[in-house]
Each structure stands twice: as C-alpha cells, then as structure tokens.
Amino acid sequence: MRIDIITVLPELLESPMQHSIMKRAQEKGLLEVHIHHLRKWAVNEYGQVDDYQYGGGAGMVMMCEPLAKVIEELSAERNYDEIIYLT
C-alpha cells in the first residue's frame, strides 16, 4: 500500500510515520508513505499556498492552484484508488 500525503508542514508528519505500527508496516514492505511539501507547487517564489479570507474569522484558506498542481502531477505518475482531502 502506498500513501501520499500533501502538507504545508511535513516535519509534523514525518515523526508519527516512523514509529509504532506505521514503522513496522514500512519495515515489512507492506506500506510506503511519501510526504510531499505543498510549497514546492506554490504560486510564487515566496512559497505562498494560502489565500485571503473571505468574510473574516480565524483560520487559513488554501489556494486551489497549488493543490491542483500537486494532485495532477502525482496522478500522472500513478493511478490512485481514492484521493481523500482532509480539511
């Protein structure tokens, strides 16, 4: 099984994937986990992936362009059974 994770903070996800059940599954060759840094597909040289908020409030609004680029690029490399977008 292969899992590709797209994130703005890859450092936060690297550690959990190197311990416990996830680590054992990877060592046995049952699981591949690839973490992709979304800023690689940013819209400018500053690595911008967030957009202005619509209507105010707390939180961050992700730009569509970087997400679309990374999903298109990864989908061109291999077929995915499912693409799950967590918000």
Write out pLDDT tens, residues 15-65.
888 889 999 999 999 999 999 999 999 989 888 998 877 777 777 788 899
CB 17 within 8 A of CB 32: no
The pLDDT confidence band at residue 79, using thresholds 50, 70 and 90, is very high
Say how far apart CA 10 and CA 5 lie, in whole Å: 9
**pLDDT, position 56:** 73
Q: Is 87 helix (H, G, I), strand (E, B) or coil?
A: coil
Say how far apart CA 87 and CA 29 lie, in whole Å: 29
Say how far apart CA 59 and CA 52 lie, in whole Å: 10
**pLDDT, position 86:** 81
The enclosing H or E element of 72 equals helix 64-77
Q: Regarding predicted confidence, which is higher, 56 or 73?
A: 73
DSSP state at residue 35: E
**pLDDT, position 21:** 93
